[in-house]
């Protein structure tokens, strides 16, 4: 594998780690380290993608389209109301936010163009899919959807963030392929700068915001398609791809809705075993299905209940005081739990065990994050990048 590809993969891993796992002791350090990583991606991909840095009539068109989106966004704010921005409004804070947003968008679009450049001549369709998915994956964190407690919150997250970001990534890939990287940077960066510098922002509900951010790239695709440099055959192919992607999104939304309905109306919930207190009956990484309508609790049943430490899944070993309390115990524990469990604290009874599948949720939720580890990791990844850049400058 080419050295540059390895370096870019390392930088992307570092970028993802810094974005979603690294907890900086200083807010300024957080922005500084992330912006430096984004700039490293731009420098590494520069030679291969600089031919994509072109602009023209379409850049003007996409600029007006983006301003139109912001106009609709603000008008919806007059209907739903405005709130204070969560970002700093001081000159220094605004400058840092602008630099951070600009470096991030440039890094993502340079990465998109790099993937397209590496694959499009031999695997054009793969180039489209890979560039869309890679950038999309780097813009969101999957834990809320993989926490294995599907709920209305997960559905809101999918509709508000996951689906719009995927469609927007696909539209950005379409722009880069046909009109270059400057137009895609304008399309993605202008709304971010607006959000970073405005002291007041519209307070849109999750449905309105999700619908707006989903429809915007679809409308943009419809408007800009006549200006594309693609043949009619490729247009038909791209339309078929859009239909296929739309079907996948529809299926995904339907599955999420079914999960929410399943939990809400059937009374079943999913929990992941993260301790060894119930071994060998329940092991770490198992998924347990809890029926919250099964209230006929007997000795020997495994129940989930709410305690001061959160949700606990243990076995009932004794019923007390006319079944107003139960005594629970972990199978691997020597003694029963210290406090009796009131019946009203019992969520439900375990009815099904699915082994192993919960490890993904455990990893995403409990991955250890250390500032010291991050500070040690950053120089190790920065060293080969520096050596590569020095070699390029020398030659």
pLDDT tens digits, 119-141: 876 776 777 888 888 888 888 75
**Backbone phi, psi, residue 200, to 5°:** -125, 140
pLDDT category of residue 44 using cuts at 50, 70 and 90: confident
* Mean pLDDT over the full length of the chain: 77
Residue 187 confidence (pLDDT): 93
**Kindly report the CA angle at 237 between 233 and 238, in degrees rounded to 5?**
115
Collapsed DSSP state (helix, strand, coil) of residue 22: coil
The yes-or-no verdict on residue 52 having pLDDT over 90 is no
Residue 316 confidence (pLDDT): 92
Burial class (CB in 10 A: 0-12, 13-18, 19+), 273: buried
* E strand or H helix at 269: strand 268-272
> In the structure encoding, which two tokens stand for residue 131, read together?
């560039």
Give the rounded distance of the alpha carbon of 49 from its chain centre: 26
Name the nearest CA neighbour of 100 among 210, 7, 197, 186: 197
- The answer to whether the peptide bond before residue 280 is cis (omega within 30 degrees of 0) is yes
Contacts of 51 (CB under 8 A, 6+ apart): none
> In the structure encoding, which two tokens stand for residue 283, read together?
């092991």
Q: How far apart are CA 169 and CA 174, in angstroms?
A: 9
Q: How far apart are CA 179 and CA 242, in angstroms?
A: 18
For residues 171 and 91, the answer to whether their CB atoms sit within 8 Å is no
Tens-digit pLDDT profile for residues 131-185: 888 888 888 755 555 544 555 566 677 778 888 888 899 899 888 888 889 999 9
CA distances from 25 to 18, 67, 371, 372, 374 (A): 13, 37, 8, 10, 11
- Per this entry, what is the length of the chain? 395
Side-chain half-sphere exposure of 139, counting CA atoms within 13 A:
26
Buried b (16+ CB within 10 A) or exposed e, 172-202: bbbbbbbbbbbbbbbbbbbbbebbbebeebb
Q: How far apart are CA 185 and CA 367, in angstroms?
A: 33
Tens-digit pLDDT profile for residues 231-252: 445 555 555 655 665 566 566 6
Beta bridge partner(s), residue 269: 290
The predicted model gives 324-339 an average pLDDT of 90
Of residues 44 and 369, more confidence is placed in 44
Residue 30 confidence (pLDDT): 73
Residue 374 confidence (pLDDT): 45
**Kindly report the CA angle at 392 between 134 and 101, in degrees rounded to 5?**
40
> In the structure encoding, which two tokens stand for residue 198, read together?
């405005």
The yes-or-no verdict on residue 334 having pLDDT over 70 is yes
* E strand or H helix at 364: helix 359-366
Per 3-state DSSP, the chain is made up of helix, strand and coil in percentages (nearest 5) of 65, 10, 25
For residues 167 and 180, the answer to whether their CB atoms sit within 8 Å is no
Which position has the token pair 């951010």? Answer: 213
The yes-or-no verdict on residue 255 having pLDDT over 80 is no
Q: How far apart are CA 286 and CA 116, in angstroms?
A: 40
Residue 161 confidence (pLDDT): 81
Side-chain half-sphere exposure of 125, counting CA atoms within 13 A:
6
Residue 320 confidence (pLDDT): 80
Residue 387 confidence (pLDDT): 53
pLDDT category of residue 26 using cuts at 50, 70 and 90: low
The predicted model gives 211-228 an average pLDDT of 81
Domains of the chain: 3-229+372-394 (no CATH), 268-363 (2.10.109.10)
Residue 368 confidence (pLDDT): 44
Contacts of 147 (CB under 8 A, 6+ apart): 154, 361, 364, 365
% of residues, the chain, pLDDT over 90: 11
Count other C-beta atoms under 10 Å from residue 113's C-beta.
26
């Amino acid at each position: 594998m080419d050295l540059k590809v390895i370096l870019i993969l390392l930088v992307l891993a570092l970028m993802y780690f810094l974005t979603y796992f690294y907890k900086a002791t200083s807010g300024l350090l957080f922005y500084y380290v992330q912006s430096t990583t984004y700039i490293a991606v731009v420098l590494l991909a520069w030679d291969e993608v600089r031919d994509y840095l072109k602009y023209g009539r379409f850049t003007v068109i996409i600029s007006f389209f983006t301003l139109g989106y912001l106009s609709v966004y603000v008008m919806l704010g007059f209907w739903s109301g405005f709130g204070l921005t969560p970002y700093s409004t001081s000159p220094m804070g605004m400058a840092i936010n602008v630099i951070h947003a600009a470096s991030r968008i440039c890094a993502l679009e340079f990465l998109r163009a790099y993937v397209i450049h590496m694959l499009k001549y031999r695997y054009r369709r793969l180039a489209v899919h890979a560039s869309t998915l890679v950038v999309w994956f780097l813009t969101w964190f999957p834990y809320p959807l993989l926490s294995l407690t599907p709920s209305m919150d997960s559905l809101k997250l999918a509709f508000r963030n996951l689906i719009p970001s995927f469609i927007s990534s696909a539209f950005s890939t379409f722009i880069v392929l046909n009109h270059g990287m400057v137009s895609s940077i304008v399309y993605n960066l202008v709304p971010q700068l607006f959000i970073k510098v405005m002291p007041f922002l519209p307070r849109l509900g999750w449905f309105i915001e999700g619908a707006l951010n989903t429809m915007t790239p679809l409308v943009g695709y419809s408007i800009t398609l006549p200006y594309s440099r693609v043949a009619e055959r490729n247009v038909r192919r791209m339309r078929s791809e859009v239909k296929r992607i739309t079907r996948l999104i529809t299926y995904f939304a339907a599955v999420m809705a079914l999960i929410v309905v399943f939990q809400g109306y059937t009374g079943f919930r999913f929990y992941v075993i993260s301790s060894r207190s119930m071994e060998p009956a329940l092991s770490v990484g198992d998924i347990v299905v809890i029926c919250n309508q099964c209230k006929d609790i007997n000795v020997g049943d495994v129940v989930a209940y709410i305690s001061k430490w959160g949700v606990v899944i243990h076995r009932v070993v004794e019923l007390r005081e006319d079944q107003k309390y139960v005594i629970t115990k972990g199978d691997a524990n020597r003694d029963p739990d210290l406090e009796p469990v009131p019946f009203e604290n019992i969520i439900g009874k375990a009815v099904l065990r699915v082994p192993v599948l919960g490890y993904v949720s455990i990893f995403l939720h409990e991955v250890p994050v250390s500032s010291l580890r991050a500070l040690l990791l950053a120089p190790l990844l920065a060293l080969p990048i520096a050596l590569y850049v020095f070699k390029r400058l020398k030659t």
